Structure 1
Amino acid sequence: MAPTLALKPGTAWTDAWQRALTVAPEAFRDDRVLNLWAGSWQPDGHSLPATSPVDGSSIAGPPRLDSAAAEQAVRASLDQHRDWRHVPLPERRARVGAALDALAEHRELLSLLLVWEIGKPWRLAQADVDRAVDGVRWYLEHIDTMTEGRSPLAGPVSNIASWNYPMSVLVHAMLVQALAGNAVIAKTPTDGGLACLTLACALIRREGIPVTLVSGSGSELSGALVRSPEIGCVSFVGGRDTGARIATAVTDLGKRHILEQEGLNTWGVWNHTDWSALSAAIPKLFDYGKQRCTAYPRFVVQRSAFDAFLAAYLPAVGQIRTGHPLAVADPADPLPELDFGPLINAAKAKELGEHAAEAVERGAVPLFRGTLDPDRFLPGQDTSAYLAPLTLLNPPTSSPLYHAEPFGPVDTVVLVDTEAELLAAMNASGGALVATLSTDTPETFTRLAPQIRAFKIGHGAPRSRGDREELFGGFGASWRGAFVGGELLVHAVTEGPAGERLPGNFPEYQLMP
């Protein structure tokens, strides 16, 4: 009989909350968080209830502002921007470096908040914090050459990002933007990351860096954060529907923009025999339940190799570990090693389950259906946000699982007979961030890869978003505006020589990577 699990001592939400109150009393008040604008923490906004995806327990909810307050916050940020853009680069570098030291000092608390707020397993939560800190330190070393001959924008940078990487995507971007001489504004993601971002911004603000952090619905705040004339650039990470609306707005206004949107990243298998390499890659692809912009939820497989593919895929997907991220059998045990914990909320788990059931009703064939192991959860806990891996063969083209990114642990497999069918199936979403083609011959890869509509294409290995000097962007509807990475991330939020044309995926032209 398996031992009964319990929360590891010191990891409860109440423990994390009390630690946050102690570390940053200016940003947390009793049972709520505050908004940060005009250089100080404001008690405005209407707080909403929130629950943790880990077990359904109550956690701090967002203090949502209305549009009028958001407009005030943007105007105050512009005032900060006008002062900050004249701060000498050595001083900006010193302040950002001090903020990074503070973030590193509170790494464990930031990580624990991420576990409770967005369900990241401990290993991945720590990695999110580490990537933010280490990534910005690289920019500290290279910012001199990246900003040579350039100047900050005329107004602050507005950041609207999804909930899945609060530190390594959102905080990382904010600090690089500030290092380049801009005041920065961020909206807390609707679905999670509020307390972690609040703590991070409190530590950053203490170093005199002009950051603004506000909560509110996208519809209520978009007028201020996207359309406001004070905003110098809009940086967005999220879904295509919201991204399309923002793209229309910023294009009409002629505003600088970086819009990373969802795309169906695909893994093609054609004339391939190295099945051990594919099998070894499968578990890694399930990190964080495929709730990543560079996840691979679609395999496009040559029909004649389908039996060999299954022989490699099924044992690997059967090894995936999911469960409560903070549950241990003995207080002295380390936190569990998991591939993923809950999805972002119970509604998402329910939605994916319904999409899968509908696809099966219309002809998709279940290839693998995982189960939740009760020995990996607390006795009687709410598991409504958890979904075990699921794999479907040939989803109907009418299914959302065929065209859209599921953003969860649901794989689909599409069988093809010709190279033309392979390419059509790999390009089903009209543009993606990453793709991979597993094929034995370099000649086949060289011939087919340019026809795959993804920004980064791996040969038998996954591609990632990348860090530091690595270029990142997307094709089609997966990206709009300036490409980023290394100096291009800095160039996207600074002014260069007159007539400069930023490389990116703009409506009027595209630059091939």
Structure 2
Amino acid sequence: MSLWTDQTFIDGQWQPADSPAARINVIDPGNEESLGHVPDADATRMQQAIDAAATAFTDWRHAAVGERADILLAWYQGMQANREDLARLMTREQGKPIAEARGEVDYAASFLRWFAEEARRTYGATIPPEDPTMAIGTLREPMGVAAIITPWNFPLAMITRKVGAAIAAGCTAIVKPASQTPFCALALARLADDAGMPTGVFNVVTGAGRQFADTVCADDRVRALSFTGSTHVGRSLLAQAADTVKATSMELGGNAPFIVCEDVDIDVAVEAAVAAKFQTSGQDCVAANRIFVHRSIYDAFVDRFVARMDAMPVGYGLDENNEIGPLIHTDAVADMQSLVDDARDHGAVIHGRDQSQAPGPQFFMPQAIAGFTHEMRIATEESFGPVAAIAAFDDDADAIAAANDTIYGLASYIYTHDDARIRTFLRGLDFGMVGINTMDITGPHVPFGGVKQSGLGREGAHVGIEEYLETKYYCIGNAHR
């Protein structure tokens, strides 16, 4: 079965571009070759998707939870059966190394299975009444049409984590994938169709993000808006969604601290820090951007971190040996170089291979900025690439204060074996997620989300489905009294 398609999926139908000019060229970031074109849908086409989802919601909201669960499970099984094809497609349009792409396919599919099970657990409550002749309680009901905007760094998982919850709740969905990675989203639509998804329940529209946001935010029938992306864009979407008072869930930027205390095994901490920083070539909102190491082990940590970093093979993602792939575009390469140059100008020591060794214009050789300070941009800006900033700390309170000195509050990491220290850091770190002696903090069972300007709401776990449910209160009186 071929998963490749270059058409949008609306109301159960595959629709081509309106004209050759109304198409978006998708580039393989690893070799700069064109992978194909997808429609650049206009407002009319996007409105058609809203119409389809609104019509489908009339019946889907009343579908038995077993039916919803069975379709999600069939979709999950389709992803598993096509794991290698999905992974290779992802590597070609996103660039991540093939081993990571396979991991994302598994991760993405797991949300469909998880929410198939959660569909059966959208419980209401019985409330003890003041008057014993009355019955009081709550029901959980689907909100309606959900508009979902997803990023390019996790082109499968960010869709299934949102859509799995929405569809399990009884909502219908319209997905606008990133223009850099639309083919993964369209492959998901093909698998959803094969799984028996009813017409109009799941729609994928490719095109300009601004046009999509304008269209869905202005339509009262779209009751929920979920977005993963930059804090800057998230702020704009929140303002637009306010006009029609939509329920919003936002997973925005991050600038995760990674704190290493002196009582841990340095080699273990180095391996974890490297993994936490360089997965997805550093293009990850939970990446360990700022690494704080106790001064007593700082020099040894930096030496080993740099040695491990410099040993990471960099190259095209379909080569099984490579650990670092390309960045999504050349502007991202320029951004990384700008952060490194700024840190060097402010006195930091830069470690890493020379950029002349990069295998192509969209690759950036991993760099470590040793001795970063708050005056450097790397301290406050999210470094969305293979650039790690490392600084020494002397006092736990100072480490916590430095870690919290950011507008972001998504993920954080702490390595120590001292129980009292663990409790201090756990309570002191102002982040939605804290990994303690592990960097592997995600999964379908995890309430993923942040505080401060890292977003609103949670995805995954038992709370992920809550983003797409309304609470309806009822009070039944005694008419014969």
TM over 0.5: yes
The gaps in structure 1 that reach 5 residues or longer are 1-18, 328-335, 378-382, 500-513
**1:35 matched to which residue of 2?**
8
1:495 match: 470
- Residue from 456, 460, 465 that aligns with 1:485: 460
Q: Distance in 1 between matches of 2:414 and 2:162?
A: 30
Which amino acid in the other structure matches residue 102 of structure 1? G
Q: What root-mean-square deviation, in Å, do the aligned CA atoms of Structure 1 and Structure 2 show?
A: 2.4
SS at structure 1 position matched to 2:178: coil
Structure 2: which 5+ runs fail to align?
125-137, 475-481
Deviations 1:84-106 (A, max 9, x none): 11222222222222222322222
Q: 1:136 aligned to 2:112? A: yes
Q: Secondary structure at the match of 1:108?
A: helix
Q: Which residue of 2 aligns with 1:435?
A: 412
Deviations 1:345-395 (A, max 9, x none): 222112211221233123322133466768xx6xxxxx1111111011244
Tell me how far 1:169 sits from its aligned partner.
2.1
After superposition, the Cα gap between the structure-2 partners of 1:307 and 1:36, relative to the gap in structure 1 and judged at 3 Å, is same
For residue 94 of structure 1, what is the amino acid of its counterpart? Answer: D
Counterpart of 2:347 in structure 1 is: 363
Corresponding residue SS for 1:293: coil
Distance 1:488 1:271 in 2: 36
How far, CA to CA, are the matches of 1:289 and 1:470 in structure 2? 23
Deviations 1:37-59 (A, max 9, x none): 23312224510223210111111
Question: Paired residue for 1:8?
Answer: none
Partner of 2:304: 312
CA distance in 2, matches of 1:236, 1:476: 16
Count of aligned positions: 454
Separation in structure 2 between the aligned mates of residue 487 and residue 158 of structure 1, nearest angstrom: 21
Matching residue of 2:322: 338
8 A Cα contact 2:96 2:281, kept in partner: no
**Partner residue of 1:225?**
216
| Mapped pair 1:198 → 2:186 | yes
Give the conservation status (yes or no) of the 8 Å contact 1:434–1:463: no
SS of 2:410 mapped into structure 1: strand
- How far residue 34 of structure 1 moved from its aligned partner, in angstroms, is 1.4
Return the letter of the residue paired with 1:449. L
Write out aligned runs for 1:74-473 (5 A): 74-146=50-122, 150-190=139-179, 192-206=180-194, 207-209=196-198, 210-251=201-242, 253-285=244-276, 286-327=278-319, 336-369=320-353, 383-395=360-372, 397=374, 399-464=376-441, 466-473=442-449
Structure 1's 392 and 41: CA in aligned 2 closer, same or farther, altered over 3 A? same
User: CA 1:495/1:38 → structure 2, altered by over 3 Å: closer, same or farther?
Assistant: same
Q: Work out whether residues 294 and 463 of structure 1, in 8 Å CA contact, stay in contact via their aligned partners in 2.
A: no
- Which range moves more in the overlay, 428-437 or 108-117? 428-437
Specify the code of the residue in structure 2 equivalent to 1:291: Q
* TM-score, structure 2 as length reference: 0.87
For structure 1, which segment, 259-268 or 173-182, has the greater mean C-alpha deviation from structure 2 after superposition? Answer: 173-182
Deviates more, 1:90-99 or 1:156-165: 90-99
Once the two structures are TM-superposed, the CA of residue 409 in structure 1 deviates from its matched residue by 0.6
Q: Give the conservation status (yes or no) of the 8 Å contact 1:368–1:391.
A: yes
Rate the CA distance shift 1:227–1:297 in 2: closer, same or farther, 3 A: same
Is the contact made by 2:140 and 2:472 (CA closer than 8 Å) also made in structure 1? no
Task: Measure how far apart 1:396 and its partner are.
Answer: 5.3
CA deviations on 1:23-70 (whole Å, 9 max, x unpaired) are 56xxx3xxxx11222331222451022321011111123411223332
Query: Matches of 2:260 and 2:47 in 1, distance apart?
Result: 51
1:7 counterpart residue number: none
Q: What is the DSSP-based 3-state SS (H/G/I as helix, E as strand, rest coil) of the residue aligned with 1:279?
A: helix
Q: List per-residue Cα deviations over 1:98-145 (Å, max 9, x = no partner).
A: 222322222222111101100021111111112222332233234312
Are residues 41 and 152 of structure 1, via their aligned partners in 2, closer, same or farther at CA, if it must alter by over 3 Å? farther
For residues 226 and 412 of structure 1, the distance between their equivalents in structure 2, rounded to whole angstroms, comes to 38
TM-score, reference length from structure 1: 0.82
The change in CA–CA distance for 1:110 and 1:241 in structure 2 (over 3 A counts) is same
| CA deviation after TM superposition for structure 1 residue 239, in Å | 0.5
**Shift in alpha-carbon separation, 1:418–1:498, aligned structure 2, 3 A:** same
Asked if the contact 2:166–2:173 (Cα under 8 Å) also holds between the matched residues in 1, the reply is yes
State the distance in 2 between where 1:139 and 1:414 align.
Answer: 41
Task: Specify whether residues 395 and 271 from structure 1 end up closer, same or farther in structure 2 by C-alpha distance, changes over 3 A only.
Answer: closer
Shift of 1:454: 1.1
Give identity over the alignment, percent.
Answer: 22
Partner of 2:131: none
